[in-house]
A and B are shown apart, each in its own frame.
Chain A
Amino acid sequence: MKMTKRTTLATLALAALTTLGAFGAHAADEPLRIGLIGTYSGPYADYGRQFDAGVALYLKEHGGKIAGRTVEVIKKDTAGPAPDAAKRIAQELVVRDKVNILTGLDFSPNAYAVSAIATQAKIPTIVMNASSSAITSSSPYVARLSFTVQQVSDPMARWMIRNGIKESYVVVADYASGTDSFTAFKKAFEEGGGKILGELRTPMNNPDFSAYVQRLKDAKPQSVFFFFPSGVMPPAFLKVWKERGMDEAGIKLFATGEATDDSYLDATGDVALGLVTAHHYSYAHPSPKNQKFVKDFVAQFGTSMRPSYFAVTAYDAMAAIDLALAKTKGDVSGDKVMDALKGLSFESPRGPIEIDPVTRDIVQTVYIRKTEKVDGKLVNVEFDKFDKVKDPAKEAAK
């Protein structure tokens, strides 16, 4: 233990140096540090790839700079829904990497865990996907640019009522977002005078849907509405739906856009044809802004990956940071950035979007789309829409 004194001194000297470094960090050409928390490995690694692509595309279009500063994106992997990991990662990003902004956040539990850190550290946090309603209420430093499950389920119900569908059976995956979807759909459908005939909750790890679909067939409802997270569940459900001849039995099928997520649509195949869904983005959205977005995306990343709503939100998140920092004249302090984000409105590849000044949640157009084959490729063709949709859960709470 002879070294103790010297070690202590050395540590102190080092600490002093580090502090000096931190004070000197506000030089003008210091890069803007953005912490990107997403899933880069495991079954949901596609989410991270889409985030990266959207961020990279925006930065490329703007010469790698936001508000005149070069941008340094620090990526971290949570490998799926892992709130404890997300929280630890956010802590590291704030304390060690000294990020100015946190973003990413594909799973709701991760977003909730990170919002606590955002509040403590007063770091502006921009949610790129997590879609549970209360996330933006959990911290004044969280804003969302993606969507909420309720926001896309409610318009589907209203559209069905408007088009003469009076009764429906609901199938949702048995987890928090499934409950959200069911709640919003049921409320809007019943308010329109519709009747919910029944409800099926399927386990998350469900290999074969035939028993559930058979039950629906025997119940003979006028229509079925379903919500499953993007991935393997929707194609498995649709396969059994076609195999059982549900369309021939005259039962109409509706869903949210997760069922025909552009990332998985090719793999889903023809069983998705004709399905009517409600969502905020389709890569076939006909606006010039989106056509440019898709063209640039293909030029940059090729055709093996389609831009999905993840990539679009990542792209928009960068745009929102850019616009907000333009308003604060480059000031990155938490309160100023959050103030600048409130009420921000701009044109996204998905259409016009706005950040609600009160809830910091997204307000956007929700489109009704049908899966069709265009030029040999399956796409979601938008044919109807609901303008300026807010999160129904927060509207109801008012």
Chain B
Amino acid sequence: MVEKSRIMDAAAMNRALRRLATEIVEKNKGADDLYLVGIRRRGVPLAEHIRDKIEAIEGVRPLYGILDITLYRDDLSTVGANPIVNRTELTEDIEGKNIVLIDDVLYTGRTIRAALDQLMDFGRPKRVQLAVLIDRGSEHRELPIQADFIGKTVPTKQTEIIKVMLKEFDEVEAVGIFERK
């Protein structure tokens, strides 16, 4: 993969996450009922960052959980054999909660569909909203799914890949557009 352009550096990412945190708090009129759920892998540290920022803004630390959607994927037969299964950690009951699903990139919408299916197996939340750092644009969407909170919308070609790089997995903190080889 060759990086074509860098669309966010660490400072820009931080600003985008702070704005996402503010918008989530504003739309939900506070943070008392919020339950942030990060989608593995990169949605997890992003959810943690947003949680910290919400706490800094509101003085309330929202509930927090992790979803691994591997067992709910609809493409097991096309992605090749056995993607790695990781643990889902929803330690608090989701029944009646205001869930904010958090992921790094919104592309076809299939990951979010899988996450919604999984959430419903754990209970009946009051409401589910979606926050993503990057939205690749609705023209790529294969399902009727849109985000409620978007860090940055980046129209891309299908041959391109958006990679959100995080300290937890990569050496840098940045977002780049790469060309699929």
> Do A and B truly interact?
no
Q: Could you list which residues of chain B lie within 8 angstroms of chain A, going by C-beta atoms?
A: none
